[in-house]
Structure formats: C-alpha cells, structure tokens
Amino acid sequence: MIEEKVMNRWIVVAGAIIIQLCLGAIYAWSVFTPKLTLSVNEGGMYGFSVSQTAWIFSVGLLVFAIVMIVSGRLSARMGPRKLATGGGIVLGMGYILAGLFGSSFLAQLIFIGVIGGAGIGMAYVVPIAVGVKWFPDKKGMVTGLAVAGFGFGATIWVKSAGSWFGLLDNLDILGLGGVQSVFLIYGIIFLLLVVIGSIVMVDPPANYLPAGWSPPTKNNIDSAKPETTGMINFQPVEMLKKPQFFMVFFTFLFSAISGLMVIFCIKLFGIDALQSKGTPVVTASAIAGTAMAWYAIFNGLGRIVWGTISDKIGRKRSIFIMCMIQGFVMLIFYNLGGVAVGLIIASCIIGFNFGGNFALFPAITADYFGDRNVGLNYGYVFFSYGIAGIIGPQLAGVFKDIAKDVNDPSIWITPFVIAGIACILGGILILISKQPIKS
C-alpha cells in the first residue's frame, strides 16, 4: 500500500499540533502564580501560598499521567478520534468551571488540576500513537512534531494573558477578575480547537507502509542498531517485567524534574533573582515573563530537533547528551538568573532539553517495546512524568515557603542543584540500558 491511496499523513501531523497547542496550557501555569499568590492585604483576590499553587500544577500533571495509562486502553476500544474529542471536552469544561467557580484553592485544585489534567491525559496519547503508525520511518521526528504544539501552545497562552493582550490585567467577565476570566475564555477555546483537531485522528489502514519504505527484516534487526527497529512488540505486562522499562522510567523521571520545576517557578525565581541585583519589580516581572515565553518556544523546538537528531544518532545517545546538558545548566541556573540575558538564555536551554523528553521517550518506548503497542506502553513510562510533576514544583515551592527572608533568592539554589544532579543520574542510567530481549 502506498501513501497516495490513503489520507495524506501530514494532515495527521497538522491535527496533532492543533490538539497539542491547547494541551500545553498547563505549562502556562507560571503566568498565573504571581496573581494567585498576591496577598489579600496587598490587593490580591486569592492569597494562595506558593505551595498551594504548586499543588494545583502538580495534581494536574499527576492526573494527566495517570489518565494517560487508562487512555492507552480506551483508544483501542473507542478509537483515537472519539478519545481525543472527549479529552478536549473534559479539558475545556475544567477551565470553564474554574473560570466560573474557581475562587478558592480547592475549586482550582479540582477544576484545573483534576478535571483539566484528566482532559489532557485523555487527548495527549492520541497524536503520538496515531503519528507513530503513520510514520514508522520517522518516529523521532513525528513524535517531536506531534507534541511540539504542547510547548509552543504555552507561549501563546502565556503571552496572551500577559504582554500581548494583557488579559490578566484587563479582562473582567461577570466580575470574576483577571485570572478566572482568562480561565473561562481559554476553556472555550480549548474545547473548540481540540475537537477540530480530533477529526483527523484516525489510524492508517492495516499493513500500511509509507511510499518507498520497507520495515527492517529479521537480518537487519539482528545486525543493525536494534534500538531503531520497534519491530518486536511487548504487551504492557511483558514490558513491566523488564529492567529496561524501569531504566527508561527513572531516566524520564530524573530528567523531567528540572523542566517541571522551572516551568512552575521561573516567574517567581526570575523576579527574586533580578530584584536582588537592583532591577525594579515591574521590569523584573516583564523580563521573567519573557524568559517564560522563550522557555515555551524552545520547549516546542526541542521536541522537533531532538526527535530528528535521534533518528540519526540513536535514541539512547540523544537522551544521554540531553540529560548531561540539562544537568549542567541546572547546576549554574541560579548564577545565571540574576542577569536578564542569563535568565533568558538558561531558560531557553532548559526548555529546549525538557521538550526533547517528549520526542525521545515515546520513540525509545517504541524502539524498545514495539511500535504496535506504543499507545499502551508509553502510558506506563509517562507515569514517571506525573511523579516528577510533584517532586519538581514541590521542591521549589517548599523551599520558597520556608525561607526566613522571602526576598532572598539564594533559597532557589538547593532545589536547582538537586534537579541538576538528578538529570546527570538519568543520563548515566539510560546509557547503560540495552535493547530488551523477548523471552
């Protein structure tokens, strides 16, 4: 079967990007934290602690990861289109409800964290699983493209709420205030766009092969790089018995801690670090917002670039290099953050490498455990991301809340160093892993 006789596979990529643009809203959370943590005495509407805002973010990531495991199974029963559509409806309704009723910490925890996170988890796996089936010849590249919108979407939602349109400061629907008004508008947009993108989320015909490409033969698998094949398929129960699963799982966990920590605290840290060097708070906030936006842009680029690189040099080597670079930058992030240029450059590098996780780990899951069941198997691997979503933000939030001097930026050193060391350990772990053998 050749490509011309079926739907153009690049249409699937376009639909995937539209979906992921909306799912990436969770990475825009940092833009809301200054408003949410502003004390009532200083004119704030909420007065949440930093740890409370971290919990909303962390619960969203954890629920996202848990629901992904279930979604892998649901996709086989419901079909990818229905599953992605359902995810868009759930995500949109979570934000709409948070806009209308999210005046308390508990309400935001439920609506943004639990319901919103569930919607993301339902839809997220679909573009990856469908994309790998349409692009068995370019798994790294297509997984990068399929999830690139997740990173780029955060830029859109951050800048729309901030410097582009000033929605947080200028929007007030039904007296809800800026934060809830933005939640309401975003929820409507997410619901509509994800449903539209879901229309093209369909699997290719049985035995589909891209034009001009043939799968590796038995001899090729035995003699070439086994990690690039994905032809030996493991069921989840078989995969979970392999030590390679745990090596991939913990590498993802250790690598994701730093990126999720920075996503959560970049605005708070940037303001603290720049203010300590004499930058006025308004200017510091604007610079930190710019760093956050560039983080999101490079997060999206990293997914495409690292995925493409991995198709050439191998997944394992790519993950190792990515983790080593990330670990080094996290170790010096505090020192770079006190200068505007340093904060922005470091944020770009961290975002770029963090984004690479989402191209490389689904691809290595397919390489190690098979293309056919990647939708099922990657959900279990991705649960590590949910755990990292608690560890990373909570480390930052706890150290910030217990600081005796809340304006002392040195409180950020310890969580950054912990995250940097974790990245390096992850790189070493993946380097010693080997292709599993099916018994």
> What pLDDT is attached to residue 220?
44
Class of the CATH-defined domain 7-208+230-431: mainly alpha
> What pLDDT is attached to residue 54?
85
Is residue 423 scored above 90 in pLDDT?
Answer: yes
> What pLDDT is attached to residue 149?
80
Mean pLDDT calculated for residue range 389-418: 83
Mean pLDDT calculated for residue range 242-266: 92
Give yes or no for a contact between 251 and 319, defined as CB atoms under 8 angstroms apart: yes
Residue 205 CA: distances (Å) to CA of 2, 111, 125, 208: 11, 38, 19, 5
Rounded Cα distance, 9 and 354, in Å: 27
Rounded Cα distance, 50 and 62, in Å: 18
Rounded Cα distance, 90 and 243, in Å: 35
| The pair of three-digit structure tokens given for residue 34, joined into one six-digit string | 């200054």
Any residues with CB less than 8 A from the CB of 332 and at least 6 apart, and which?
A: 346
Average model confidence (pLDDT) for the chain? 86
Rounded Cα distance, 30 and 38, in Å: 13
Global pTM reads 0.76
Q: Interior CA angle at 128 toward 6 and 259, to 5°? A: 155
Is residue 396 scored above 90 in pLDDT?
Answer: no
Helix axes 117-134, 50-78, angle to 10 degrees: 50
Is residue 249 scored above 60 in pLDDT?
Answer: yes
Mean pLDDT calculated for residue range 390-415: 82
Mean pLDDT calculated for residue range 193-208: 89
> What pLDDT is attached to residue 29?
86
Report pLDDT digits (tens) over 269-312: 998 889 888 888 889 888 988 898 888 889 888 988 998 898 88
Q: How many residues would you count in the chain?
A: 439
Mean pLDDT calculated for residue range 168-178: 84
Categorize the per-residue pLDDT at 201 as very low, low, confident or very high, splitting at 50, 70 and 90. Answer: very high
Report pLDDT digits (tens) over 99-123: 999 889 999 999 999 999 999 999 9
Give yes or no for a contact between 299 and 140, defined as CB atoms under 8 angstroms apart: no
Task: Give the number of other Cβ atoms within 10 Å of residue 23's Cβ.
Answer: 30
> What pLDDT is attached to residue 406?
59
Residue type, 83: L
Q: Interior CA angle at 432 toward 426 and 438, to 5°? A: 115
> What pLDDT is attached to residue 216?
62
Mean pLDDT calculated for residue range 40-51: 84
Mean pLDDT calculated for residue range 207-235: 61
Rounded Cα distance, 401 and 385, in Å: 24
> What pLDDT is attached to residue 409?
81
Domain ranges within the chain, ordered by starting residue: 7-208+230-431
Give yes or no for a contact between 194 and 8, defined as CB atoms under 8 angstroms apart: no
Nearest to 261 by CA among 57, 16, 48, 15: 57
Give yes or no for a contact between 35 and 168, defined as CB atoms under 8 angstroms apart: yes
Nearest to 362 by CA among 27, 126, 70, 80: 126
Query: How many Cα atoms sit within 13 Å of 93 on the Cβ side?
Result: 11
